[in-house]
Chains A and B, each alone.
Chain A
Amino acid sequence: MTTISEQPGEPFRISQLIYDTRYRSLTIQMIAFILIMLGLGWLVNNTVENLAALGKDFDFGFFGSRSGYDINQKLIEYSSSDTHARAVLVGILNTLLVAVLGCALATIFGVIAGVLRLSKNWIVARLMTVYVEGFRNVPVLLWIIVIMAIMSESMPEPKDFRGDDPEATMIAGSIAVTNRGVYVPGVVFTRSLGGNETAATGDGAGETVPTGSGLDWLVILGVLGASIYASRVIAHRADKTQEETGVRPKTGLIQAGTIILPTVAVLILLGAQMARPELKSFNFSGGIHMRNSLIALWFALSLYTGAFIAEIVRAGILAVSTGQTEAAFALGIRPSSTMKLVILPQALRVIIPPLISQYLNLTKNSSLAIAVGYMDVRSTLGGITLNQTGRELECMLLLGLFYLVTSLIISGAMNIYNNVVKLKER
């Protein structure tokens, strides 16, 4: 009788860890892991030793203490007697402000330049090429400094606006571009939700100073969002009716009304008034004062990033083959609908991912605010707060974390979008 006995398994040998591909990867990973851990441990150990030698500890308690410095450009109330934490918040908001403004303007520049670069008009196309190559090939830092110098050296002084025959005039009677910054009209709420204060001004007359305008803007944005949503619902209904009956009900006016009317009503209820900048004594007052630092950073970043976006837009449009347009025409789709239904969806799939990474770059480049003294998060958290408290480790760690989290959020959003628009193949 024969018995089938199990083939005796080869006993495990130590040398298999090196020579057997099944185990080798494990060995490599273990070695890599040990090395990485050793390296990290070495760094942490050094840091602890160094901190001990300097008599420092690792403590974020300083955020609760008084900051003691002023920030000239701010979106929320802040004074030097507030805490470091609030100063950092002001800085973060300033970074986000210039990032959002910059992304918006860069998109406008980029789309215009990208489309015009494809224009059949020879001069316009060349002009746009000069813009794109000129901005792409020179450091953004230089552009920031150049625009700052243009603003502070070549713009008129506020006193030039004075007199019967002034050397400088305000654009459209309400925007003053001076060497101290740009003054644009602002909105003041006379019946603000947060209550108003009457502040005494120099000439004795009381001036209404809104204190709760943040709340007002929140309400307005809320109403605007809700009415846009409502108008979308109406459009959706109209689509349904069109699919069922073949006749599209006219909803254009109703949609426009749904968006505009509630917002206007809220504005009137809040007593919104346009506050124009006016020349008083040596400077303008009223309206919104955008400092040179903000203007320089904003325009330089927008122009610079706009040049990159122009290339992205151009590539995106070129990526849609002409066959698509021809096919759409052959189907009898009108040019406007062809653009909306055939070209744009395909071009946007190519355009949007690199566009968002350009937004990311712009946000990171906004840390160049240091060149013009704009108080962004790097200048508050990584600048004055760091220098005043002497806590390099904590401040730099938080600063890095802030940028990292911002980047991860933006790139996370991009990944979601990519998955949504991805070509569903096979």
Chain B
Amino acid sequence: MTQSVSYVRDTMLPAQDPPALQSGPVKWVLDNLFSGWLNTILTLVSLYVIYQVLSGILPWMFGGIWDASSLTQCREIRDTELGGKEVACWAVIASRWKQLLFGFYPPESYWRVVLALVLFLAAVAPILFSGLPRKMLWLAVVAPFVVFWLLWGGTIWGPICVALGFVLGWAVLTYGEDIAGELAAILGAILIPILYWLFLAGPLARGIADFSSPILGFSSVISLVGATMAAAGIYLVTRRSSEIGATLLAIVAIIMWWAVVDPYLLVRFGLLEFASGAGLSAFGIEYVPSKQFGGFMLSFILGMSGIVLSLPIGIMLALGRQSDLFIINKFSVIFIEVIRGVPLIVWLFTASLLLAYFLPPGTSFDILLRVVIMVTLFSSAYIAEVIRGGLAALPRGQYEGADSLGLDYWQSMRLIILPQALKISIPGIVNTFIGLFKDTTLVAFIGLLDPIGLMTTIRATTDWNGIYWELFVFIGLLFFICCFSMSRYSQYLEKTLRTDHR
């Protein structure tokens, strides 16, 4: 059949492009930037501001001088080679960046700080990101002690002896329950480590470090006890598989102990002749006193230890504030309000000026430790308020549901309430952490050399007298990167933890 109506088209024309003003970037610009007179003015003003700022900053920044030994030389180069154009003198960063990062830490030991940082990041990674293997959590258990040892140096036995306290507490809690009952086990797990730290840990660490002393004394006793315990432990653990093998292993352990850990014992008994020997007991790295800590590393140490330590204290305070127990409730309220009501700088001055009054006469301890304690207490009060908000935001049904399941207080908190409350409070907690990290700059006022304190130090030298903006930019950028990534992480966490269907 032929086409009956000749003028009816049987094929479609290709679609025409929409009008130029109604599509593509042009439409976007019209819609977003010039949709009305007010918007147009705003756009123009913003463009002008951006142009002014960038045209001022970009040439200054990217034309900067990297190679000079002092500000005077920088200015000479600027006047002779660049015709007097205002440019940045990045040479100060090039020559002092190590100091801004590490303070007065001995340069040959920078690797220790870097290693500590890597270890720290590896330890927190499995806590921060749920996709990583759970076995990595063991790193988080070991890391605090190793990081501490790497940073401060000295003998390795100090941190190990402190860690032993935790092992002791854990052992009492696990095995004590069968022997003495639950309550006694909990009390023992709290009291025994504290007593151990107060009275035994110090002498023990010193004793082990003194293995090399030729005098037969306390350290020899420790050495003997240690060898016996190591042998007994190995024997008990391996006994199940084979009695003879276990005995052999125990004997090997004792020999290894005297060969590797404490060869000096044999020297003392006159069985061996060592002029100067090895042995694990003497193992240590150069001790670095706290006053050499500085720069960004100091901010990081203060911030991170404050963050890690303040979270558990903050949770306890929040629970205390929600508690029905009158005295505990009032104590938490007063503590939180007093800490929050007074600025951090006043607390820091308290730590540096007044702490000596509150402690027994004659005690004095490290300023860095004092600051860490103050910063921890300070941020734990803020964390407590954030978590209290999370606890209050949970519907009552959750509490009642936990009760009706027959869970006791700690079980219901651990299994039902806190996981949800903490999830709700994540943004607040991270904000508190960011605030804490930024506030570590205040330690400059009590004589610690954080980046801002170092800025004054650098400017006080004749080479760099009068330099401002380059240091500001460098330090500001460092802080910005850290804080900004923390806030991004909190957004990521909110997204992954969001279980409601929206």
Contacts and interface: CB of A to CB of B under 8 A. Distances in A.
Interface string A384-405: 0010000011001001100110
Interface in A110-159: 116, 119-124, 127, 133-134, 136-142, 145-146, 149, 153
Interface stretch (A173-181, A234-242, A362-370): A362-370
B345 A370 contact: yes
A18 B182 CA distance: 12
Interface string A352-371: 00000000000011011011
Chain A at the B interface: SS class: helix
B442 A32 contact: no
Nearest to A47: B357
B452 interface: yes
Given A46-B358, A53-B361, A127-B49, A138 B476 contact: yes
A125 to B, nearest CB: 9
Interface stretch (B151-159, B225-233, B307-315, B335-343): B335-343
Interface residues of A, number: 54
B175 interface: no
A403 B452 CA distance: 25
Interface residues of B, number: 56
A43 interface: yes
Given A43-B358, A46-B361, A396-B350, A121 B32 contact: yes
Contact of A141 (B49, B325, B340, B452): B452
Contacts of A119: 39, 42
A327 to B, nearest CB: 22
A16 interface: no
A142 B469 CA distance: 11
Interface in A80-107: none
Interface string B127-171: 000000000000000000000000000000000000000000000
A33 interface: yes
Contacts of B327: 29, 32-33, 36
A33 B327 CA distance: 7
Nearest to A137: B483
A407 interface: yes
B354 A365 contact: no
B407 to A, nearest CB: 13
A121 B441 contact: no
A51 interface: yes
B326 interface: yes
B331 A120 contact: no
Interface string A8-32: 0000000000100000010011001
A29 B361 contact: no
Contacts of A403: 341-343, 346
B21 interface: no
A382 B446 CA distance: 13
- Max count, chain A CB within 10 A of own CB: residue among B183, B345, B479: B345
Nearest to B480: A137
Given A137-B480, A139-B441, A141-B452, A378 B345 contact: yes
B475 interface: yes
A324 interface: no
A49 interface: yes
Interface in B248-266: none
B438 interface: yes
B47 A367 contact: no
Contacts of A400: 338, 342, 346, 350
A363 B340 CA distance: 12
B353 interface: yes
Nearest to A371: B445
A408 B468 CA distance: 39
Contacts of A53: 361
A382 to B, nearest CB: 6
A124 B331 contact: no
Given A120-B32, A138-B479, A51 B357 contact: yes
B479 A396 contact: no
A251 interface: no
B272 interface: no
A98 to B, nearest CB: 13
Given A32-B328, A137-B483, A393-B357, A127 B46 contact: yes
B22 interface: no
A322 interface: no
A283 interface: no
Given A139-B441, A393-B357, A382 B337 contact: no
Contact of A124 (B46, B353, B441, B469): B46
Contacts of A116: 42
A121 B361 contact: no
A137 B484 contact: yes
B356 A368 contact: no
B483 A138 contact: yes
Contact of A367 (B31, B337, B341, B346): B346
A245 B469 CA distance: 67
A393 B349 CA distance: 11
Contacts of B480: 134, 137-138
A205 B455 CA distance: 48
B35 interface: yes
Interface string B43-62: 10011011000000000000
Interface string B469-490: 1001001100110011001000
B210 interface: no
29 contacts: A25-B324, A32-B325, A46-B357, A49-B361, A50-B358, A116-B42, A120-B32, A120-B35, A121-B35, A122-B32, A123-B46, A136-B434, A136-B483, A137-B479, A137-B483, A138-B479, A139-B439, A139-B441, A142-B441, A142-B472, A145-B452, A145-B472, A146-B472, A149-B469, A378-B346, A400-B342, A404-B337, A404-B342, A407-B341
Given A123-B33, A149-B468, 4 more contacts: A121-B33, A137-B438, A138-B483, A393-B357
Closest 10 CB pairs of A and B: A407-B341, A137-B483, A404-B341, A364-B343, A139-B438, A122-B32, A367-B343, A139-B441, A29-B327, A123-B46
